[in-house]
Chains A and B, each alone.
Chain A
Amino acid sequence: MKPAPFEYHAPESVDDVAGLLAEHGDEAKPLAGGQSLVPMLALRLTRFAHLVDLNRVAALRGVSRDNGSLTVRAMTTQAAVERDAEVARAVPLLARATPLIGHFQIRNRGTVGGSLAHADPASEYPAVALALDATFELVSKSGTTRVAASDFFEGTWQTCIDAQQALVAVHFPVWGGRCGFACEEVARRAGDFALAGAVAAIEVDDAGAVRRAAVGLFGLGPTPLRAHAAEAELIGEPPPTPDGYRALGQLAMRDADPVDDVHASASYRRRVGAHLVARTLASAVEEARQAHDPPGAARAR
């Protein structure tokens, strides 16, 4: 379990990162927290002639809020997100998903950008980004590009980032009004990748009817997924009954495409996925109905 030989680069600016990626193309790979890439290199499941370590690029760290969105720069660690009060106020779903990622040691190294660019379909952040319609900011030598989350994830461990580009930031819309959020998953052990998981974001109007709904699925297909049919069913309606939530869970599984592996069967994932969608929706709707606070001030749990 020793990686194949590679050349190590440690640039300190985004320009230098873009320059190295332009120079080495698909022989280079950006190294973020290394929590997935390094084991894959050690197992020789993948190899790159050049590793471009982003850890010394100070401009790639930090969180800021402006104009209704929260910008999380790519090298912000999961541990930093977990502790950040602004994240908890502005994008509660991101804050609540974070403790489910690995173990604290992993979150100390793992980064928001690394997790999203790795695009494991069973991980939490891709589903959060997709559900909230986040925007991905990519930089290459030829400039900056913004990509919608719906166009970002292309397959298991595959995104639209090309070999010359680096993910530098993710912009999460801040939901206003009476909102509620929930993230739940079933994993074999604490910290494992989810067998199935769901995130839900709900806004209700003054009458308590659902105004906005977003449901993200993870571990339930080759990429993170949106349960569009279930979302459409909710919007404009009063809060569902328990049976109604169960039916929405079933409906959400129309958008799922899970697989069998050593940990669980596809049918298990569907059944549990439906259950988790029902639970997260019920929890998010209830939180939204309880919310009287101004926009963006939903309580962190």
Chain B
Amino acid sequence: MTTSPLQTAGRFVGQSVKRKEDPRLVTGHGRYVDDVTVPGMLHAAFLRSDVARGRITRLDVAAARECSGVHAVLTAADLNDRPAGPMLPSMFADGSQGISAPVRPLADGDVRFVGDPIALVVADSRYVAEDACELIEVEYEPLTAVVDFERAADDTENLVHPELGSNIASTMATPPDAALDEALSRAAHVVTETFYQQRQTPTPMETRGIVAHWDPYAAALRVWMSSQNPHEVRRTCARILGVAESRVRVVQQDVGGGFGQKYFMPRDEMTVVLASHLLGRPVKWIEDRRENLLSSNHARRDRATVTVGVDADGRIVGARIEHLEDSGAYANGGTGGTGMFVAMMFPGPYRIPRLGWSTTAVWTNTCGRGAYRGPWMMETVAREEMMDVVARAIGLDPLEFRRRNVIGRDELPYATASGMVYEHVSPSETLEQAASLIDYDGFRSRQAEARANGRYLGVGLGLYIEPQAGMGALGVEAANVRVEPDGTVNVFVGSGSHGQSLETTVAQVVAEHLGVDIDAVAVHQGDTDVAPFGGGTGGSRSGPILSPAARQAALEVRDKAIRIAAHLMEAAPDDLEIDGGVISVRGTPARSTTLAQVATTAYQQSDLLPPGMEPGLEVISRYKAPPVMYSNACHACTCEVDAATGHVTLTRYVVSEDCGVMINPMVVEGQIAGGVVQGIGGVLYEQIVYDDEGNPLTTTFLDYLVPTAAEVPVIEYGHVETPAATPGGYKGMGEGGAIGSVPAVFNAVADALAPLGARVNRLPLGPSEVLAAIEAAPAR
């Protein structure tokens, strides 16, 4: 449901064009990494640690090696001296981004989490490989595991990584701020609360997987991988094998979701590449669901203690956030730490004149932390949950408290206390639109009636500003627009879709600006031999950074086509237009030629081109984005809590989104919906649980619960359109749905529980936790 008329709809841009990828995907004909078969291909399975921390006292692979159909059983002794460079993401490989966990292919002498790979069996089939894993004899001397992330920093006896000398992965803080202390001491109200977000994992529908084929005769590596970032995979493979990047070809086909888990090249995939290099054979490893839940990257697991000072008018005078995060044992990318972003984005859409912060990341003997859609979202979770806590404490409605503090359009550009400068955002407008769409005032009166009848309804808001990473390696994208001699268009892009519909949205942008029909445009992605170098899909960056590159390339191709046509037609270029692949004199459609004729001329009749013009009709354009861009949105949700069972039913869900110019509103709404479902899961269902010894208790979908269609209400959408000051005006919004939904749902439940005196500050809010909060409420 789209409520606002779009300001900028073009012929293709701004239209809900049907997705080009859907016919093959919805009929089950997508091609994923497990569909790849290479002659002579072998299958790999990992033997993984089943203790969280311990010394390996015995490792005997003899029986496994003798198993029929087994080609190799590789251990640290076989593989760990093979990497020619750091097994880290490229942006962390030089150490400049801080301390990283000491990543090796396989556990060497000790294990550091349940799931730590100890051996890799390579066999004729996955069945045989798993049979052989059972024949490996391994014994441990168990050591005390560091499991509780709140106590890890103080534990100097039990170290997750003894090489690093401490369980503190990183720590940062603002210097003492007398002005902040002064502001808080003079505030009419000062409220402090601690919030927890639980450990989760992204659970893409397609698990991770790779086929790696080192051909010793060609001295070349070919990789098919379920990835968000094929060029990063190519860089990493070249680094760990010590070969030239030009000898490595990485192909990313259809990808069944990544959500951050597939942004960097994970350790297991690197180990498979090393194994293929050692054996000279193609090796396939497809992560199974148990491995995905056990040893792919986990995410979230944060604590934030927030103090907010408010004046007598309900205006925030200053705030402090102390943040702690759990990096696990092998965080995917450095420490996995997002703390600085948590601190920087904490002010969000509000006027917070002074801010103090500290953030610490700790190692634990658990699965490593990695990116997951909105990796720094604890800033919004803690802030938005705190807004409701403060509002209740000072006797204001949470909507009114937000109204008094939200940044208005007339205050832009607005520099936050953490140094972010917002422009072209509309937090106040999205707040009002969401409140209106959910009928906030009407709900409050229905809520009061329901309470009188012993029913507990609640409403929650989640207002946030979503940054899009444009720094460093993340700031550039490329598109190669090539008109073929028949006038059809191939577009090769650096960034590749793992569900974001780039195959459609890039085609819309190119069709719009080149002047061809969308069916004439084919978008190619994910093959490093043909795609221009790109930064991968992640950080909500492909829409705002790749699209301007595609737009610019299309405009330049269009300009060249017009100049060729003008020369052929003996017309002035300014008088010509292109529409549907036909180039004609404006106002005189009979005087026309076609893009096909122009392209044929460009490639095959170059003598007919304007003097001095380079033949061909093809442009590669690279776009360098501003370091940060911002979109914004407001989520609003209503729920009913069954006070007898603790069961929460979501009744309505509304999102007001401002991502600037929408290329495809249906795709935008699809991205929002997917994120909202993940946020609902994050509040009501999902939790990775370890026992005190570091044993994971949630290794199947029977234990790790993701929401299904039955648990999700209809999601309603509103749009505000504030174009970015970039070519096309597009903004990224891929992660926000997962960010705003967590506090919106949490706040709705907390609002429903408020009249019972029940206080909640931890996620998730399963029925057991809700009922426990009701039981713990002080007697009324």
Contact = CB atoms under 8 A, between A and B. Distances in A.
Interface of A: 1-5, 39, 43-44, 186, 188-193, 195, 261-265, 268, 271-272, 275
Given A2-B126, A39-B700, A272-B767, 12 more contacts: A1-B288, A1-B290, A4-B131, A43-B700, A44-B134, A189-B708, A189-B711, A192-B705, A262-B689, A262-B698, A268-B768, A275-B644
Contacts of A188: 685, 705, 766-767
Contacts, number: 66
A188 B704 CA distance: 11
Contacts of B697: 261-262
30 contacts: A1-B289, A1-B290, A3-B127, A4-B131, A5-B127, A5-B131, A39-B700, A43-B700, A44-B130, A188-B766, A188-B767, A189-B705, A189-B707, A189-B708, A189-B710, A190-B708, A190-B710, A190-B711, A191-B708, A262-B687, A262-B703, A263-B705, A264-B768, A265-B768, A268-B767, A272-B644, A272-B645, A272-B646, A272-B767, A275-B645
Contacts of B134: 4, 44
Nearest to A39: B700
A2 B130 contact: yes
A268 B772 contact: yes
A43 B708 contact: no
B699 to A, nearest CB: 9
Interface string B625-657: 000000000000000000011110000000000
Interface string B288-327: 1110000000000000000000000000000000000000
A3 to B, nearest CB: 8
Contacts of B711: 189-190
A4 B129 CA distance: 11
Given A5-B131, A186-B647, A264-B766, A191 B710 contact: yes
B767 A264 contact: yes
A186 B645 contact: yes
Contacts of A186: 645, 647, 767
Contact of B771 (A5, A190, A271): A271
- Dominant SS at the A interface? loop
Interface residues of B, number: 30
Contacts of A272: 644-646, 767, 771
Contacts of A265: 768, 772
Dominant SS among interface residues on chain B: loop
Nearest to B704: A262
Interface of B: 126-127, 130-131, 134, 288-290, 644-647, 685, 687, 689, 697-698, 700, 702-703, 705, 707-708, 710-711, 766-768, 771-772
B290 A43 contact: yes
A275 B767 CA distance: 14
Contacts of B772: 265, 268
B753 to A, nearest CB: 16
Nearest to A275: B644
A195 B767 contact: yes
A108 B54 CA distance: 46
A263 B766 CA distance: 8
Nearest to A193: B702
A189 B707 CA distance: 7
A190 B698 CA distance: 19
Nearest to B133: A44
Contacts of A44: 130, 134
Contacts of A261: 697
> Which 9 pairs of residues, A with B, have the shortest CB-CB distance?
A190-B710, A264-B768, A1-B288, A268-B768, A2-B127, A262-B689, A275-B644, A2-B130, A186-B645
Contacts of B130: 2, 44
A154 to B, nearest CB: 23
A190 to B, nearest CB: 4
Contacts of B698: 262
Contacts of B766: 188, 263-264
A122 B262 CA distance: 36
Contacts of B687: 262
Nearest to B291: A1
A208 B134 CA distance: 63
Contacts of B710: 189-191
B47 to A, nearest CB: 13
A195 B289 CA distance: 24
A188 B126 CA distance: 34
Contacts of A189: 685, 705, 707-708, 710-711
A268 B771 contact: yes
Contacts of B685: 188-189
A195 B647 CA distance: 11
Contacts of B647: 186
A4 B128 CA distance: 9
A195 B642 CA distance: 15
Nearest to A266: B768
A188 B681 CA distance: 11
A195 B767 CA distance: 10
Contacts of A263: 703, 705, 766, 768
Contacts of B126: 2
B126 to A, nearest CB: 6
A262 B686 CA distance: 11
Contacts of A195: 767-768
